[in-house]
Amino acid sequence: MTHTDLTSPIDPEIVVALDRRAAEIARGATVASPIAAMLALGSIPIAIGALATDVYGQAPSDVLDVLQFALLLEYLESEFYQRAINSTGLIPASDIAVFSTIATHEVTHVTSLLELIKGRSGTPRARPAFDFTARGAVPGFAFAATQYATFKLLAQAFEDTGVRAYKGQLTRLMTDKVALNAALAIHSVEARHAAEVRRLRGGNGWITGSRRDDLPVFTQPVYDGEDNTTHGAVSVAALASGSGGVDSATEAFDEPLTMAQVTSIITPFLA
Amino acid sequence: MDEGARDCLGLDVAVGNGRALHAVASRRDFMRLIGMGGALVLLPSLLAGCEDGSNTGGLTGPGTGAAVTIDFALGDVAVLQLAYALEQLEADFYGRVVANFASSGFSTAEQATLSHIHNHERIHRDFLKATLGTSAGFTLATVYDGVDFGNRISVLKAARTLEDTGVAAYNGASQYLTLAGNLLVAAKIVSVEARHASVIRDMISPLSNEFAPSAFDDVDRPKTVATAAQAYLVNKLVFANEPTAFTPGPADKG
């Protein structure tokens, strides 16, 4: 039985960040005095917990950075679905309720993020122009009536990206509970969207391994890393042996993407 | 020994015990306990006889069995214990669903989907058990009054309640997590619960707006979560030191 250690739930990525931050402090970087006090006391567990907060910073600028990033994603999604809804003949009548629902949600998410940013004295970024051919990666895509299959695969890629993008930023919102809750409440709705679109396309609602299934190769970064089976100090691959094995283990946990990874994925869609 | 801890016959069992802080022998032990959220303290001897659902004291109604106390003084550990309780319930529920496939009228494809979900919930449960280590010392007995496991729609409606509750629970309890690593783990799980919720809802009402009934999922207080879960638990789920402060979500519930 694994014995709970304070540091065990911290992902390697965070430990690396902590390590970097510790080195900065050693070089004379400023640190909040309670953390310094705890380091002096030798209370490593507490200090690590506090440093995790310190590393993932909750300065208002940090929160705004996350909210602006989320706004860009929601601009992308909302425009994508609005154009689809407005394109005669693209979405069959059988599926219009699903995509109308998603479209409405994405508009609401944009509105919510605009308010959160303004409420923190930020100036929301402007809505950019989008290129849904992804600079030619999706050749000729123009929301035409014959392009429903392409629309759906892009929808899946956007929704699965959205889930991972929010997940990767949550820890930067830890001291702004209103923003954290908004991000969480949107994050899980994006997961509902993702599951519905995946099922609409004949797949499962969840991601197996790092498989993009029938999506084009340019979408692979949306799924890279989803095959991780270690969370904190626990390897779920071993304990999943009687519960569907490694495939199930990867399905049971969605993985984060960094802001840089998400930016790389969506940049081709910016005109 | 904590005099408030009792046995498996319908009496109180503390999951973790903040009062044991008084008993620690050294500063180092003290710091370790603080770092752990005090969760090292366990009562395995009291819980040893409680596995396999025998801790009902002969009673089977919701909340009639042994109390299981989650003490929020334990910090992050308490949040993970609440998650562990919910994942136990979900894993048990889908176990019964799978066991009743012969009579419940699910299509082959639906059976495959539900079997996948069963596996995911078992993995969540076992992951949290491993993460909590000695703080995972409780096994909940379940009861499903009003759920007909031989009836497709009855099963799906109960599943919908459990999945929606799970999403709102993780969303609402995340604000009490102090360690970034724990928040990330909760987020890795909650989006899979949301995928489940979407799938179950689509099975009930295909291709409607039901898969995501709101632009914002609920962000529920632990107390709200406990009330929803209690309907399916024989053990009485009890909170100690539940935080009074709660920041509601954008849907303004909780």
Q: Give me the residues of B, 158-187, that contact A with CB < 8 A.
A: 167, 170-171, 174-175, 177-185, 187
Residues of B in contact with A227 (CB under 8 A): none
Does A111 contact B at CB distance below 8 Å?
no
pLDDT above 70 (res B38) = no
CATH number of B3-240: 1.20.1260.10
Does B189 contact A at CB distance below 8 Å?
yes
- Whether B219 and A204 lie within 8 Å, measured CB to CB: no
- Please name the residues in contact with B217: beta carbons below 8 A apart, sequence gap of 6 or more: A184, A185, A188, A189, A192, B167, B168, B171, B194, B249, B251
Does A160 contact B at CB distance below 8 Å?
no
Measured over the CA atoms of residue A98, residue A99, residue A103 and residue A109, the dihedral's sign is positive
- Identify whether the C-beta of residue A141 lies closer than 8 Å to the C-beta of residue A215: no
- Whether B187 and A167 lie within 8 Å, measured CB to CB: yes
Calculate ∠ Cα A22-A28-A34, nearest 5°: 65
How many contacts, defined by CB atoms under 8 Å, are there between A and B?
Answer: 258
pLDDT at position A61, please? 87
Q: Which of A65, A81, A74, A122 is nearest to A260 (CA)?
A: A65
Q: Which strand (E) or helix (H) includes residue A266?
A: helix A259-266
Could you say which of A98, A199, A234 has the minimum Cβ distance to residue B131?
A234
pLDDT above 70 (res B179) = yes
| pLDDT tens readout for residues A29-67 | 444 443 444 344 333 443 444 444 444 444 578 999 999
Where do runs of H (alpha helix) occur along A43-176? 44-55, 60-85, 96-119, 148-169
| pLDDT tens readout for residues A170-209 | 999 999 999 999 999 999 999 999 999 999 999 999 999 9
pLDDT at position B81, please? 98
- Please name the residues in contact with A8: beta carbons below 8 A apart, sequence gap of 6 or more: A2, A232, A233, A234, B131, B181
The amino acid sitting at B217 is D
pLDDT at position B40, please? 33
Where do the domains of chain A lie? 3-56, 64-269
Could you say which of A192, A233, A252 has the minimum Cβ distance to residue B194?
A192
Could you say which of B31, B116, B175 has the minimum Cβ distance to residue A180?
B175
- Whether B131 and A8 lie within 8 Å, measured CB to CB: yes
Residues of B in contact with A4 (CB under 8 A): 36, 39, 77, 131-135
- Whether A9 and B127 lie within 8 Å, measured CB to CB: no
A58: nearest CA in chain B? B180
pLDDT above 80 (res B4) = no
- Identify whether the C-beta of residue B131 lies closer than 8 Å to the C-beta of residue A9: yes
| pLDDT tens readout for residues B126-172 | 999 999 999 999 999 999 999 999 999 999 999 999 999 999 999 99
Does A51 contact B at CB distance below 8 Å?
no
Total residues found in chain A within this entry? 271
Give the burial class of A139: count Cβ atoms within 10 A of its Cβ; 0-12 exposed, 13-18 middle, 19 or more buried. Answer: exposed
Kindly report the average pLDDT of chain B as a whole number.
Answer: 83
State the Cα–Cα distance between residues B199 and B212, nearest whole angstrom: 10
Bridge-partner residues for B233, per DSSP? B142
Q: Give me the residues of B, 65-124, that contact A with CB < 8 A.
A: 76-77, 113, 115-116, 118-120, 122-124
| pLDDT tens readout for residues A79-115 | 999 999 999 999 999 999 999 999 999 999 999 999 9
State the Cα–Cα distance between residues A244 and A179, nearest whole angstrom: 36
State the Cα–Cα distance between residues B173 and B162, nearest whole angstrom: 16
pLDDT at position A60, please? 77
Half-sphere exposure of B119 (CA within 13 A, CB side): 25
ipTM of the complex in this document: 0.81
Per-residue pLDDT band for A4 (boundaries 50, 70, 90) equals: very low
The amino acid sitting at A112 is S
pLDDT at position B52, please? 38
- Identify whether the C-beta of residue A63 lies closer than 8 Å to the C-beta of residue A120: yes
B217: nearest CA in chain A? A185
- Find tokens 């008084």 and name the residue: B22
pLDDT above 90 (res A26) = no
pLDDT at position B143, please? 97
pLDDT above 80 (res A128) = yes
Per-residue pLDDT band for B223 (boundaries 50, 70, 90) equals: very high
Does A243 contact B at CB distance below 8 Å?
yes
> Which of B164, B198, B210, B220 should be substituted to probe chain A, the one whose Cβ sees the most A Cβ atoms within 10 Å?
B198
Its CATH class, for the domain covering A64-269, is mainly alpha
